Amino acid sequence: MRQISLRLNGVARTVEIEDQVLLVELVRSLGLTGTKVSCDTEVCGACTVLLDGRPVSACTTLALEADGRSVLTIEGLAKANQLHPLQQAFIDNFAFQCGFCTPGMILAAKALLDERPSPTAEEVRRWMEGNICRCTGYQSIVDAVLDAAGRRP
Amino acid sequence: MPAREDGDPVERTRFRVAGTEARRADGVAKVTGAARFTVDLSVPGMAHAVMVRSTRAHARILGIEREAAERMPGVLAVLAGADLVAAGLHPYYGHVVLDHPALAVGSVRYHGEPVALVVAETKLQAAEAADLVEVRYEDLPAVIDADEALRPGAPILHHERGQRVGDEGMDQGEGALEGNVCAIARVQWGDVDAAFAKAHLVVEGEYRYPMLYGYAMEPYNALAFFDQGDLVVYSTAQHVYMVRRDLARMFDLPLARVRVSAPYVGGGYGTKSYTKIEGACAMAAHLTGRAVKLDLSVEEAMLTTRSDSSHIRCRSAFDRDGLLLAREFDIVLNSGAYTDNSPLVNSKTANRCFGPYRIPSLRVVSRSVFTNTVPASSLRGFGAPQGNIGGELQMDEAAEKLGIDPVELRLRNLAGPGEAILPGKRPLDADLREDLRCLVASLEWPGTGGVSVGFGVSASDAGAYPTSTAAVRIHADDSATLFTGSTELGQGSRTVLCQIVAEELGLSLERVAIVGGDTGVVPYERTTGASRTTTVTGRAVQEACRDARRRVRELAAQNEKVDVAAVEDAPAGVRVKDRERSYGEVIEGWFGAGGEVLGHGSVRRGEGFAQMPPFWEIGCSGVRLSVDRETGVARVEKLVTVGDVGFAINPALVHGQDLGAATMGMGAALREELVYEGEQLVNPNVVDYRVPRFSDQPPEIDLMLAERHDGAGPFGAKGAGEGAGNTIGSSVAAAIGRAIGVFPHELPATPERVWRLLRERDERARR
Ligand code: FES
Ligand code: FES
């Protein structure tokens, strides 16, 4: 058992964990089940969260690595019931169906837009290559990210 | 009538909500992480189960050593199939044949089959203990290939057949089921032999469509517990009512005492049709007295269900003008270790392989065959892509040999609207010739400058058996709640069904709520599959709205003391004595305080759905692609789909289905395949089994809609969801064939296969 401190969705938290606990297990055990596990081997991106603003696969990241850092999960994105522009763009562009890939997609896209506020479609595709969606065929996701880029405050 | 992006403007203005791109009813939940999937559910005191899987493809189970596992910390029980039998439970499930054990009983029939279940306080404890369970086997000869399984002397998987339990809706095929034959389907008319004898041209060949893994991103999982003797199961099931029936049988419980609920489901595509792991999970709950969660990994999901692969031998006879004289198909499906849905897949393959053409003489025999491999069941469009690869590709091959343009060849042979393509079935409710013209116009047939074009058409007997019910409650504040047994898999059923309610009741979408997918709460729905929800469930929803309106008119008549004939419907209420009354006014007027009105609607095989299928699901799609001759890599440059859906109640959702289905089809056409080497899968993970990613997306996409209001569903709608994918395999193969001068007969057309075809062709040319 070890104690770690992190900022989780903007809130300072101290938690006791076993060394081998994965970041995805930690956040899900804290009730943040928006972060999904699919491949469990860093292939699909469903478990993407932002660690100090950078996307990581929480299924292969130890919770220990979050010590002293900030973690953003999908639950932390909307501010006071106000959807983030990416979330609104995903809704407006029908950029999901089952929604299982969506939290990871949106967070991966957020990291991109934070780094490159107006990416091209090609840049979006390249950046998102590590995120799989089995439902949509991807075009609507690219559209949503570009749409969000255009409407960022 | 040409296909249009936005349908007939006049028709569209008839509606307020139907036909609009209303935002998804599950939108906010899914972008905020609030949407709860089964895998997200837990209950206090929940235990966790992990499966022990067979390391043999075919073996007798001699014994299971469980003491070491049982001694591990946190372990509650180690269960085997024999325990289920000893406890008086019925371990076998199946909606067609009861032959699939929740845990193996006596023998195992494929590598990876569940043999035992370890239940522990935590998942980690269960997993660690599972490693200590030793199973002793006596190996039996195994058979992996379906053609080999048909040979005399092949190892037999099922010496005794399970009980047949399928009802009329489960088309089980016919014929004596001997050896490893799981099901036989035949379609036949005319004098085939005579037609072939007098043909101007006969094309003949063998074709193969691969074994696929659907990869719904949420792997199969379930949570089961007993509540005062009632069995409650949350699961990733598409067809909650089908699972309820299986569980009721396994536990000897009345249907009323089994509750199956599917919250949001992380992808289905048919892979979550019918019972999977619910039985094992519920039995663990029964035998331990605890709530039990069983969630599989993706690797385990790949060992649970795959699609049937096909091996087709077929020939087509044409006259001088390119008119079809006869077709003959002999199809073998590799259906894996258990029956599951393969008899239906098989009969659909038989119905779908020859295409929506005028065919004077036809003979189809399709056999579904047991092998010692992962059991096969439904996957998007089942039967259609498996059969199309032969049926459509031979149209292209014949066109080339006859020197007739392949578009023209199809136009000459396609059945027109209202024509029968299968005797006794619903006449064709689509205009395929017009669809095809739209398709090839967008594909810029015949292609130029290194880009080649492939396309195809199909019509699938879709919709499944049309039994559906729905209920609508109108509340005293003029809002309404829809209750439906249909499951939201991502296809957008909740959105479309709410649009139908809003349209019928004259309410805004914001005033319509929906409760779905829980057999304890919602009325019966046969399945959520076969693209049926909009068409069949949609009609039940419409009926429920009309029934609720009828009830409101009755109450209004009593309130106003007039004959009910004097009450008319108003847009969102009634008109009586020259005054409009809202639903709420009528309801509160009648009850005095509070109250509501309940409407019920049902659809059965009768009335508009007397003739099967409920609708023909149209496939009309194609690609422009280029092939790198050095590497054999084929790259789709443009994808075109024509969604012939009668009327798009939500065009954005139809586009989503078409592009999603086509993308899956492209994955299967170019890359995806489950590969057996020896008795084991060599690629049972999503690293080696690669599905399409962002970089595989075609640079250009054109998703068209054809709206002719010719469907039997609400407002003339027909189903979508499978069609666009059904014709992609043969389209890609045809386009590659035109690029390299030889048609690939086996999918996926991997770079290696394409390169090999190129080399063989070059060698032939040199000789
Ligand atoms: S679940 Fe972590 S990358 Fe797939
Ligand atoms: S929306 Fe289903 S996997 Fe992306």
Q: Tell whether B328 is covered by a domain.
A: yes
Interface test with A, best of B24, B28, B32, B212 (most A CBs within 10 A): B32
B181, B221: one domain: no
Q: Tell whether B11 is covered by a domain.
A: no
Q: Quick one: closest CA in A to B639, which residue?
A: A137
B108 contacts B99 by C-beta, under 8 angstroms: no
In a 10 Å sphere around its CB, with 0-12 CB exposed, 13-18 middle and 19+ buried, how is residue B677 labelled?
exposed
pLDDT digits (tens, 9 = 90+) for A67-121: 999 999 999 999 988 999 999 999 999 999 999 999 999 999 999 999 999 999 9
pLDDT at site B484: 97
Q: Quick one: closest CA in B to A34, which residue?
A: B33
User: Residue A128: CB within 6 Å of ligand 1?
Assistant: no
The pLDDT confidence band at residue B177, using thresholds 50, 70 and 90, is confident
Non-local CB neighbours of A136 within 8 Å, separated by 6+ positions: A94, A95, A96, A97, B656, B659, B660, B663
pLDDT of B5 > 60? The answer is no
Asked if B33 and A125 come within 8 Å (Cβ–Cβ), the reply is no
| Half-sphere exposure for B498 (CA within 13 Å, toward CB) | 24
| CATH code of the domain covering residue B473 | 3.30.365.10
Where do the H-state alpha helices sit in B166-217?
A: 192-197
What is the value of pTM for the model shown? 0.97
Asked if A132 and B24 come within 8 Å (Cβ–Cβ), the reply is no
pLDDT at site B1: 34
In a 10 Å sphere around its CB, with 0-12 CB exposed, 13-18 middle and 19+ buried, how is residue B510 labelled?
exposed
pLDDT digits (tens, 9 = 90+) for B94-120: 999 999 999 999 999 999 999 999 999
pLDDT at site B570: 97
| Half-sphere exposure for B272 (CA within 13 Å, toward CB) | 30
pLDDT at site B6: 44
Question: For a pocket test of ligand 1, which of A28, A36, A40, A73 has the largest count of ligand atoms closer than 8 A to its C-beta?
Answer: A40
The pLDDT confidence band at residue B173, using thresholds 50, 70 and 90, is low
| CATH code of the domain covering residue B280 | 3.90.1170.50
A77 contacts A113 by C-beta, under 8 angstroms: no
pLDDT at site B171: 62
The pLDDT confidence band at residue B7, using thresholds 50, 70 and 90, is very low
pLDDT at site B116: 98
Non-local CB neighbours of B766 within 8 Å, separated by 6+ positions: none
Question: For a pocket test of ligand 1, which of A37, A62, A102 has the largest count of ligand atoms closer than 8 A to its C-beta?
Answer: A37
B525, B622: one domain: no
Tokens matching residue B577: 């004595």
Chain A neighbors of B28, CB-CB under 8 A: 83, 87, 91
pLDDT digits (tens, 9 = 90+) for B302-316: 999 999 999 999 999
B189, B329: one domain: yes
Tokens matching residue B162: 């399970």
% of chain B surpassing 90 pLDDT: 95
Q: Tell whether B533 is covered by a domain.
A: yes
The helix (run of H) or strand (run of E) holding residue B434 is: helix B432-443
A35 contacts A74 by C-beta, under 8 angstroms: yes
CA distances from B284 to B128, B427, B681 (A): 18, 49, 28
pLDDT digits (tens, 9 = 90+) for B358-413: 999 999 999 999 999 999 999 999 999 999 999 999 999 999 999 999 999 999 99
* Residue in the structure block whose two tokens are 């280029």: B626
Q: Quick one: closest CA in B to A126, which residue?
A: B695
Q: Tell whether B189 is covered by a domain.
A: yes
Domain boundary residue, one of B253, B275, B302: B302
Domain boundary residue, one of B414, B446, B477: B414
B713 contacts B534 by C-beta, under 8 angstroms: yes
Across B567-712, where does the E strand assignment appear?
A: 568-570, 573-576, 579-582, 596-603, 615-627, 634-644, 676-677, 680-681, 700-706
Q: Tell whether B653 is covered by a domain.
A: yes
pLDDT digits (tens, 9 = 90+) for B137-149: 999 999 999 999 9
CB atoms within 10 A of CB B104: 25
pLDDT at site B486: 95
Tokens matching residue B1: 């009538």
In total, the C-beta contacts within 8 angstroms joining chain A to chain B are 158
pLDDT at site B354: 98
Non-local CB neighbours of B641 within 8 Å, separated by 6+ positions: B620, B621, B658, B659, B662, B702, B703, B704, B724
Higher pLDDT, B552 or B170: B552
User: Residue A136: CB within 6 Å of ligand 2?
Assistant: yes
Strand order from edge to edge, sheet including A70-72: A11-17, A2-8, A70-72, A48-51, A54-57
Question: For a pocket test of ligand 2, which of A105, A131, A136, A139 has the largest count of ligand atoms closer than 8 A to its C-beta?
Answer: A136
Distance A103 CA to ligand 1 centre (A): 12
Task: Read off the pLDDT of each residue in B536-541 and give the average, rounded to a whole number.
Answer: 97
Task: Read off the pLDDT of each residue in B405-425 and give the average, rounded to a whole number.
Answer: 97
Q: Tell whether B26 is covered by a domain.
A: no
pLDDT digits (tens, 9 = 90+) for B510-534: 999 999 999 999 999 999 998 999 9
CA distances from B237 to A18, B123, B260 (A): 34, 22, 9
The pLDDT confidence band at residue A152, using thresholds 50, 70 and 90, is low
Asked if B653 and A94 come within 8 Å (Cβ–Cβ), the reply is yes
**If you take atom 2 of ligand 2, which residue's CA is the nearest one?**
A98
B641, B505: one domain: no
pLDDT digits (tens, 9 = 90+) for B454-468: 999 999 999 889 999
Tokens matching residue B367: 């056999």
Cα(B583)–Cα(B355) distance, rounded to whole angstroms?
49
B261, B328: one domain: no
Cα(B691)–Cα(B173) distance, rounded to whole angstroms?
33
pLDDT at site B3: 39
Asked if A98 and B656 come within 8 Å (Cβ–Cβ), the reply is no
User: Residue A59: CB within 6 Å of ligand 1?
Assistant: yes
Asked if B217 and A134 come within 8 Å (Cβ–Cβ), the reply is yes
% of chain B surpassing 70 pLDDT: 98
Q: Tell whether B637 is covered by a domain.
A: yes
Domains of chain B: total: 4
pLDDT at site B174: 59
B734, B749: one domain: yes
Name the minimum distance, in Å, from the CA of A78 to any CA of chain B: 7
Q: Tell whether B571 is covered by a domain.
A: yes
B623, B729: one domain: yes
B594, B691: one domain: no
Q: Report which ligand 1 atom has the smallest distance to the Cα of A130.
A: 3
User: Residue A61: CB within 6 Å of ligand 1?
Assistant: no
Domains identified in chain A and CATH numbers: 2-76 (3.10.20.30), 85-151 (1.10.150.120)
B132, B191: one domain: no
Domain boundary residue, one of B585, B609, B633: B609
B529, B637: one domain: no
pLDDT of B189 > 50? The answer is yes
Q: Report which ligand 1 atom has the smallest distance to the Cα of A47.
A: 2
pLDDT at site B168: 76
Task: Read off the pLDDT of each residue in B266-287 and give the average, rounded to a whole number.
Answer: 97
pLDDT at site B128: 98
ipTM above 0.90 for this complex: yes
Taking Cα atoms as reference points, which of B92, B311, B319 lies closest to residue B198?
B319
Domain residues for the domain of B380 are 172-211+305-414
pLDDT digits (tens, 9 = 90+) for B12-67: 668 999 999 999 999 999 999 999 999 999 999 999 999 999 999 999 999 999 99
B393, B406: one domain: yes
Q: Is B722 among the residues known to form the active site?
A: yes
B505, B562: one domain: yes
